[in-house]
């Protein structure tokens, strides 16, 4: 069942489940984009193809809010907004250890090894390294231990996962970046909690909050 967080004539925002892929890949599994297309087609009884543009993505084991464009106008404008960093995303991460500093800006230079689908973080500039920045805050939560709020300032592959791991805050279930064991459902405890932006057509201020999955977050 698709969990729609927001929808109008131009955009649809859904709460992605961990394990779903945003776009088609070599696995051949059905991507979330196709599920959204089918949902719209069946609900609205559209006879032809449904237009749906993928604006950004979340890693397969990550959950949370993701925007799709329903019109070409919205797609073009949202792509530009992402390029100009006009869309603010906030993530929650449940980590194995708490950070030593409660609130901090992290700056690393990331290099991705495509053959291993893994990213390495360096504290100094390196050939091929892409500057990556985020701000994190350790949240005091009685229900979720070692809960960290993350606001990425750049959008690099595996950025939050590798940057938190580099300061000793490995995300629960993320064996690729140092977790001792995987979650049973192969998810990691990283969730795109909030997304805020100006609507690409109406110019209305939009703030969307995605509930966290219950499994693995207690």
Helix (H) or strand (E) holding 190, with range, is: strand 190-198
Q: What is the pTM of this model?
A: 0.94
Q: Can you tell me the distance from the alpha carbon of 200 to that of 79, in angstroms, rounded to the nearest whole number?
A: 10
Q: What pLDDT, on the 0 to 100 scale, is given for residue 145?
A: 86
pLDDT of residue 81: 97
**pLDDT, tens digit, 9 for 90 and up, residues 10-44:** 999 999 999 999 977 777 789 999 999 999 999 99
Alpha-carbon torsion, ordered 128, 107, 162, 168, to 10 deg = 140
**Residue 53: inside a domain:** yes
Q: 54 lies in a domain?
A: yes
Tally the C-alpha atoms within 13 A of residue 16's C-alpha that lie toward its C-beta.
29
Q: Does residue 175 lie within any of the structural domains?
A: yes
Tell me what pLDDT residue 182 has.
94
Interval 4-18: pLDDT, tens: 999 999 999 999 999
Whether 217 is covered by a domain: the verdict is no
Q: Does residue 214 lie in a domain region?
A: no
Which regions in the chain score pLDDT beneath 70? none
Range of the domain at 60: 4-209
> Measuring CA to CA, how many Å separate 36 from each of 9, 121, 122, 188, 196?
14, 34, 38, 23, 21
Model confidence pLDDT, tens digit, residues 177-191: 999 999 999 999 999
pLDDT at 210 (0 to 100): 98
**Is the residue at 71 inside a domain?**
yes
* Within-domain flag for 70: yes
CATH number where 128 lies: 3.30.2350.10
Domain count, the chain: 1
DSSP string, 18-87: TT--SS--TT-PPPHHHHHHHHHHHHHT-SSPPP-EE-----TT-EEEEEEESSHHHHHHHHHHHHTT--
CA pair distance 212, 218, nearest whole angstrom? 11
Residue 165 lies in a domain: yes
């Amino acid at each position: 069942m698709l969990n729609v967080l927001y929808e109008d004539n131009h955009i649809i925002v859904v709460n992605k489940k961990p394990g779903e892929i945003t776009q088609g890949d070599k696995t051949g599994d059905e991507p979330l984009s196709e599920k959204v297309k089918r949902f719209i087609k069946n609900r609205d009884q559209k006879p032809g193809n449904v237009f749906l543009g993928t604006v950004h993505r979340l890693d397969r084991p990550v959950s949370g809010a993701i925007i799709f464009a329903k019109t070409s106008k919205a797609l073009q404008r949202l792509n530009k907004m992402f390029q100009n960093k006009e869309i603010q995303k906030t993530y929650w991460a449940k980590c194995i250890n708490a950070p030593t500093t409660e609130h901090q800006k992290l700056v690393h230079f990331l290099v991705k090894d495509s053959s291993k689908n893994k990213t390495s973080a360096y504290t100094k500039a390196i050939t091929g390294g892409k500057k990556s920045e985020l701000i994190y805050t350790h949240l005091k939560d009685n229900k979720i231990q070692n809960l960290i709020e993350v606001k990425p300032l750049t959008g690099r592959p595996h950025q939050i996962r590798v940057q938190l791991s580099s300061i000793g805050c490995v995300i629960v279930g993320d064996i690729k970046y140092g977790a001792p064991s995987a979650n049973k459902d192969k998810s990691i405890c990283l969730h795109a909690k909030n997304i805020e932006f100006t609507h690409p057509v109406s110019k209305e201020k939009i703030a969307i909050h995605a509930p966290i999955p219950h499994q693995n977050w207690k």
